[in-house]
Amino acid sequence: MAEMDLKAIGEGGRFIAEAFASAFGQSIEAMTSERPEIDWSLLPAGTNLAAETDGWLWWEQPLTAGPGSACWLGAAESTWSETGRLALAAAGLDDITAEDCRGTWMEIQGQALSSMGQALTRRVRKEVNCEKGREIDPPPSPKWSVEVRVKLGGAPLKVVFGWNEALNLAVEPASEPANPQPGSAPEAKAAPAAAGRTLSPAVENSRTLELLLEVELPVSISFGRTQLPLRDVLKLNSGSIVELNRAISEPVDLIVNNCVIARGEVVVVEGNYGVRIRQIISKEERLRTLY
């Protein structure tokens, strides 16, 4: 990229573009078993995507990186159909329809956007997830957009990826604080332990523990698991039902950092799902339930 391009999108914007291009390439490789050649370039400011990408398939993806942050991904039919065909052929399928290719493309782009969210998580130091997305037509006019070129199976393909200012601001590195003046008051220590929790004096005075108490860990809820052949996974679409290995009356697992630490029941709190903890898992059982 030219130096002016880098100045236009900033360090955060370049990180977003490279994170998507890398995640997109990995998603294609995982589905096709073929490593694509990927490169990207910034589109000129004010590019009319509606005119340049007439008839393309466009997807809008909100993200939890910051308030209002979102990105968009567009692909021509020649791109999503060929990519889907190569993925289905790699899975051993011969009778491939256009709808099969389209569904497979949606899976590839979903994996790519999810993987990009993981890269953004490491960047902004907080969980960045994909919220409910949707197909849109016509495409938006994002503040920044890049053309991602893919060479796969001998065919040159391309997609357009764009994002808004809210996402750029969330990812842009914060400015470093000025050096404190000699004799100035030290920064406040980490917040004390939550009310109702008692710690030993040695633990309370531990600077290492104070740092660890501020570390954020991913927390998720597992309703069950199952295994499916790749053939069945590629056939999944809206309305498909996947049967899990757990009865509806059984408790759900509370997973922290890939380890089951508790079990409980699903409740609704002010319109949101929650889990009421019924059982704390022993240390021995935690080792057996690592995901």
Residues 165 and 208 in one domain: no
Residues 107 and 211 in one domain: no
User: pTM value?
Assistant: 0.61
Q: Which of 151, 171, 191 is the last residue of a domain?
A: 171
Whether 38 maps to a domain, the answer reads yes
Tell me the two tokens of residue 96.
Answer: 């491939």
CATH value at residue 33: 3.40.1550.10
Residues 160 and 213 in one domain: no
Q: Where are the beta strands (DSSP E) in the chain?
A: 37-42, 57-62, 70-75, 134-136, 144-152, 155-163, 219-222, 252-256, 259-269, 272-280
pLDDT in tens, the chain (291 residues): 334 455 677 888 999 999 999 999 999 988 888 888 999 999 987 788 888 888 899 999 999 999 999 999 999 999 999 999 998 988 888 889 999 999 999 999 999 999 899 899 989 888 899 999 999 987 778 888 999 999 887 778 899 999 999 999 999 865 444 454 444 444 444 444 444 444 445 444 555 556 666 677 888 888 888 888 888 888 888 888 888 888 888 889 888 877 888 889 888 877 788 888 888 887 667 666 665
Residues 167 and 205 in one domain: no
Task: Using DSSP, state whether 20 is helix, strand or coil.
Answer: helix
When divided into structural domains, the chain yields a total of: 2
| pLDDT at residue 274, rounded to an integer | 87
Are β-strands 155-163 and 219-222 bridged in parallel, bridged antiparallel, or unpaired? Answer: unpaired
| pLDDT at residue 271, rounded to an integer | 75
Dihedral of CA 142/146/150/156: which sign? positive
CA–CA distance, 163 with 73 (Å, rounded to integer): 9
Residue 24's nearest CA partner among 116, 131, 90 is 116
Residues 160 and 216 in one domain: no
Residues 143 and 35 in one domain: yes
Q: Where are the beta strands (DSSP E) in 67-190?
A: 70-75, 134-136, 144-152, 155-163
| pLDDT at residue 90, rounded to an integer | 87
Residues 6+ apart with CB under 8 A from 277: 254, 262, 263, 264
Q: Which domain holds residue 127?
A: 3-171
Residues 24 and 85 in one domain: yes
* Cβ proximity of 141 and 49 under 8 Å: yes
Residues 98 and 228 in one domain: no
Whether 195 maps to a domain, the answer reads no
| pLDDT at residue 72, rounded to an integer | 95
Q: Which of 171, 188, 219 is the last residue of a domain?
A: 171
Whether 184 maps to a domain, the answer reads no
